[in-house]
Amino acid sequence: MTLRQLKKETRVLPRAFFDRPAEAVARDLLGTVLVRRANGATLAGRIVETEAYLGQGDRAAHSARGVTERTRVIFGPPARAYVYLIYGMHYCLNLVAEPEGTAGCVLLRALEPLCGVDEMRRLRPKARRDRDLASGPAKLTQALGVTLDDYGRDVLRGDLTVRAFHYPTMHKTAIGPRIGINESRELPLRFHIADNEHVSVR
């Protein structure tokens, strides 16, 4: 897909889309497109896997202990980027959901590359196949060049946006427990497009 086609066939999601329960946002983000402009290139991928993280009662959520310097953006206005570092070397990208003052966010776990694939390959030299370019939260941020500099970024404008197709294709949504956590593992808050080869765990 070319950049011109992408702009013609999609629109930026409104803030009201994110101003809803994180679980609903996580499900509805499937099939939308994450767009990143960096170093003169435009990179884009269809979101195929997400995880919802709730505020109250979700022990796996970073916001479970309340507002801190790290989590303040989660309690702020919806449609902001919450980026954090894991294992001292990998970034994860979340999109803030829920009304301002209520914690909730959605971890983006996997993308299906659509635009700027050559640049993604350059950023992800260890990926052997295109389906491995963004098939995991750390791979996704590396493939798009997302870092802590994107913390708090408004995803309705600028260099990091989320767009929806005017005429989205139908897909079947698979639901299951979240991956790689110890707390609140029983919550069925992982969503992915069934049978999509770009998800992190098939």
Q: How far apart are CA 161 and CA 10, in angstroms?
A: 11
Mean pLDDT over residues 113-139, rounded?
95
Give yes or no for residue 164 having a pLDDT over 70: yes
Give yes or no for residue 19 having a pLDDT over 90: yes
Instruction: Indicate the number of domains in the chain.
Output: 1
Mean pLDDT over residues 87-113, rounded?
94
Residue with tokens 């600028």: 158
Confidence of residue 59 (pLDDT cuts 50, 70, 90): confident
Choice between 94 and 89, residue whose per-residue pLDDT is larger: 94
Structural domain includes residue 199: no
- What is the pLDDT, as a whole number, of residue 202? 66
Q: How far apart are CA 179 and CA 193, in angstroms?
A: 16
Q: Which domain holds residue 37?
A: 3-193
Structural domain includes residue 198: no
Read off the pTM. 0.95
Mean pLDDT over residues 119-126, rounded?
94
Confidence of residue 193 (pLDDT cuts 50, 70, 90): very high
Q: Give the mean pLDDT of the chain.
A: 93
Structural domain includes residue 10: yes
Residue 23 belongs to domain with CATH number: 3.10.300.10
Residue 92: partners with Cβ closer than 8 Å, 6 or more residues away: 83, 84, 86, 107, 137, 138, 141
Confidence of residue 161 (pLDDT cuts 50, 70, 90): very high
DSSP 106: E
Structural domain includes residue 72: yes
Choice between 113 and 41, residue whose per-residue pLDDT is larger: 113
